């Protein structure tokens, strides 16, 4: 079993490299710099490669990590052993009917779209990025299995080097930096799957999702959509089968089928709670604009056109983007309201460039218009319909 598990782990890492190649192909990373400096396809490129003066330091960092992998594995294995020894869980956890696999406790809300009565506690939540949490599902007798899996996967990695170019082997080694964590995670889902519980997870295409799709009995596996899925990544290894995909829109069905074999799809509503930030007077339409960094100029034009047509605009900046100067503060109009990052307002129409938030609003019955790919004529027609309250009669989504 360990050899098959080791192979799955290596496949999962090779798929991670495919994701990094995709990020280069779509322009998130400068492919000319990557090619010129023979940089490995690794996630840190997104942070550093835009700063050419940091490339030398980045290469040195990569080389250091690659050479220190055995030491990293050793200390991580010790850490796992300590966590397992100090865990207060017992074998009763295996009797849970549902398990929820996600990255952080804050993400547990994603599963509420399936059933708002789901109950979460330490015994049924697996946080795949939290090593202490993952190890709490293992027992003392399983430390040996963990060490053996890490050893055999590392041995398989070395054997792969015989058929790989130097750079390809180097980048695969870098991705294996969290091998101990991934090995522990795989042992946990193998263990939990033995009693056939329902497994819910919200990871779409990364290594954890790949392992789940090939480990959990498909009738018991439930993928809950938590964000936009771009299915244009060309994976080296096919994902497995899942029983149910809980998605926010019918348009995502085809995208998920490009990645997984899916038994059935269920369309769900977002778990967002919308707040009433502005009382309606029945005369002035309300538009909520969720900003995207790629469409600032277009959004400014849209805001101005809305204000010119007596439309109130509830504007929310993108939380991870630093806006230039006084962007959206220069509009001298009491019909423009700037919202904080935690606001999700009630509105007549929600407008965004291509944010997944648009699909969440749409699932709640709010009219949505995506600016991406829209023409000037379509945007003007949209504003006209909003200003005349035709939004109550016509769906504004531009398919």
At 179 the pLDDT is 96
Is residue 288's pLDDT more than 50?
yes
183-205 confidence digits (pLDDT tens): 999 999 999 998 889 999 999 99
At 1 the pLDDT is 59
Q: Distance between CA 290 and CA 315 in Å, rounded?
A: 6
Is residue 396's pLDDT more than 60?
no
pTM of the model: 0.86
Q: Distance between CA 135 and CA 187 in Å, rounded?
A: 10
Q: Above pLDDT 90, what percent of the chain?
A: 50
What is the mean predicted confidence (pLDDT) over 105-113? Answer: 94
Is residue 398's pLDDT more than 50?
no
At 399 the pLDDT is 45
Q: Quick one: pLDDT band at residue 299, thresholds 50, 70, 90? A: confident
Task: Supply 224's token pair.
Answer: 């809950």
Is residue 328's pLDDT more than 70?
no
At 385 the pLDDT is 86
Q: Which of 282-296, 354-368, 380-394 has the lowest mean pLDDT?
A: 380-394
Q: Quick one: pLDDT band at residue 2, thresholds 50, 70, 90? A: low
At 66 the pLDDT is 82
Q: Distance between CA 98 and CA 77 in Å, rounded?
A: 28
Q: Which domains does the chain have, with CATH numbers?
A: 2-267 (no CATH), 286-392 (3.40.50.2000)
Specify the DSSP class assigned to residue 53: G
335-346 confidence digits (pLDDT tens): 888 888 888 999
Query: Under DSSP, is residue 142 helix (H, G, I), strand (E, B) or coil?
Result: helix
CB 177 within 8 A of CB 69: yes
Q: Distance between CA 280 and CA 347 in Å, rounded?
A: 9
CA atoms within 13 A on the CB side of 102: 23
Q: Quick one: pLDDT band at residue 6, thresholds 50, 70, 90? A: very high
Q: Quick one: pLDDT band at residue 236, thresholds 50, 70, 90? A: very high
At 341 the pLDDT is 84
Among 109-118, 158-167, 375-384, the range of highest mean pLDDT: 109-118
- The C-alpha R_g of the chain, in whole angstroms, comes to 24
Q: Distance between CA 117 and CA 371 in Å, rounded?
A: 36
If you search the block for the tokens 């899916």, which residue do you land on? 262
CB 310 within 8 A of CB 248: no
Q: Quick one: pLDDT band at residue 234, thresholds 50, 70, 90? A: very high
Is residue 388's pLDDT more than 60?
yes
Whose CA is closest to 131, among 72, 206, 183? 183
Q: Above pLDDT 70, what percent of the chain?
A: 86
CB 280 within 8 A of CB 265: no
258-281 confidence digits (pLDDT tens): 999 999 999 999 989 998 877 766
What is the mean predicted confidence (pLDDT) over 240-261? Answer: 96
CB 306 within 8 A of CB 319: no
Whose CA is closest to 188, among 278, 125, 107? 125
Element (H, E) at 166: helix 166-175
Average pLDDT over all residues of the chain: 86
Whose CA is closest to 178, among 200, 208, 156, 204? 208
34-92 confidence digits (pLDDT tens): 676 667 676 755 555 555 567 777 777 778 888 889 999 999 999 999 999 888 765 55
CA atoms within 13 A on the CB side of 390: 11
At 152 the pLDDT is 95
At 91 the pLDDT is 55
At 178 the pLDDT is 93
């Amino acid at each position: 079993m360990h050899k098959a598990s080791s192979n799955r782990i290596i496949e999962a890492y090779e798929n991670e490299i495919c994701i990094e190649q995709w990020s280069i192909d779509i322009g998130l990373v400068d492919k000319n710099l990557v090619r010129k400096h023979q940089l490995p396809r690794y996630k840190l490129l997104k942070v550093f490669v835009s700063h050419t003066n940091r490339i030398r330091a980045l290469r040195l960092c990569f080389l250091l990590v690659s050479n220190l992998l055995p030491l990293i594995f050793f200390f991580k294995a010790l850490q796992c052993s300590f966590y397992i020894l100090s865990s207060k869980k017992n074998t009763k956890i295996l009797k849970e009917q549902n398990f929820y696999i996600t990255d952080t406790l804050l993400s547990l809300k994603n599963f509420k779209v399936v059933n708002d009565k789901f109950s979460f506690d330490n015994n049924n939540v697996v946080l795949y990025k939290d090593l202490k949490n993952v190890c709490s599902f293992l027992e003392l007798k399983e430390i040996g299995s963990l060490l053996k899996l890490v050893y055999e996967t590392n041995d398989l990695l070395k054997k792969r080097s015989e058929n790989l170019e130097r750079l390809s082997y180097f980048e695969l080694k870098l991705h294996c930096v969290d091998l101990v964590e991934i090995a522990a995670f795989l042992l946990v889902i193998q263990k939990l799957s033995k009693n056939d519980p329902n497994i819910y997870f919200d990871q779409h295409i990364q290594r954890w999702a790949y392992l789940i799709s090939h480990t959990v009995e498909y009738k018991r596996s439930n993928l809950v959509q938590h964000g936009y899925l771009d299915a244009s990544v060309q994976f080296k290894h096919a994902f497995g089968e899942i029983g149910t995909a809980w998605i926010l829109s019918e348009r995502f069905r085809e995208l998920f089928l490009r990645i997984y074999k899916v038994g059935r799809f269920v369309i769900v509503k977002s778990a967002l709670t919308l707040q009433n930030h502005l009382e309606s007077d029945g005369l002035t339409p309300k538009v909520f604009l969720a900003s995207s960094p790629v469409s600032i100029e277009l959004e400014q034009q849209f805001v101005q056109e809305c204000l010119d047509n007596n439309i109130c605009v509830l504007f929310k900046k993108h939380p991870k983007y630093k806006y230039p100067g006084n962007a959206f503060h220069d509009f001298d109009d009491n019909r423009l309201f700037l919202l904080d990052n935690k606001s999700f307002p009630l509105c007549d129409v929600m407008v965004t460039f291509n944010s997944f938030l648009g699909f969440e609003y749409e699932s709640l019955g709010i009219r949505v218009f995506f600016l991406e790919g829209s023409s000037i004529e379509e945007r003007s027609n949209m504003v006209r319909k909003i200003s005349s309250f035709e939004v109550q009669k016509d769906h504004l989504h531009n398919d």
